[in-house]
Amino acid sequence: MSDDIQKKLQTELDSFKNVQKELQKAIQTRQQLDGQLNENEIVKQELDLLPSDGKVYKSVGPVLIKTELVEAKQNVSKRIDYITKEIKRIDDVITSLEKKQDTHRGSAPEITGPVSAGPS
């Protein structure tokens, strides 16, 4: 009987830890995306400030390649769109993982309930 409880608790704990790990990873990705979004938005602001004949270069490895301002703007806007979508996606993942985590947190005391209810 107590073996049974222990086993249950162990699997419960394992899956809880797994969820926690996944959540951590998702949050990290989310932060990274946030940073990228910020950077892109700042670049966009900067490009918008330029006169229409402003010279823009893109670094490809060690060299700078001249780019059209319009093209650069389009590129940055496209990237912002993409990152925003990615953030939405990862946000959903985070919410569902958080829900999972809470369920696991709630079910652990259910298993140990009668044991841990004793005086501390």
Partner 1 sequence: MAQISATEQKGMQQIDLTTLNIQQLSTLKQQLDQELNLFQDSLASLKIAQSKFQNSGETLERVTPESEGKDILVPLTGSMYVPGKLHDTDKVIIDVGTRYYVEKDIETAKDYFQRKIKFVTEQMEKVQYLGLEKSKIRDAIVEIVEMKLTQQQQQHQS
Residues lying near partner 1 in the complex (CB under 8 A): 39-40, 42-43, 46-47, 50, 54-60, 64, 67, 72, 76, 79, 98, 102-103, 105-106, 119-120
- Report the C-alpha dihedral over residues 77, 82, 83, 89, rounded to 10 degrees: 150
| Residue 87 beta carbon to partner 1: minimum distance, rounded to whole angstroms | 16
Distance between CA atoms of residues 70 and 65, nearest Å: 15
Closest CA to 90 of 38, 17, 22: 22
Q: Which of 7/68 has CB closer to partner 1?
A: 68
Q: Which of 1/63 has CB closer to partner 1?
A: 63
| Residue 86 beta carbon to partner 1: minimum distance, rounded to whole angstroms | 15
Q: Which of 7/71 has CB closer to partner 1?
A: 71
Distance between CA atoms of residues 2 and 21, nearest Å: 28
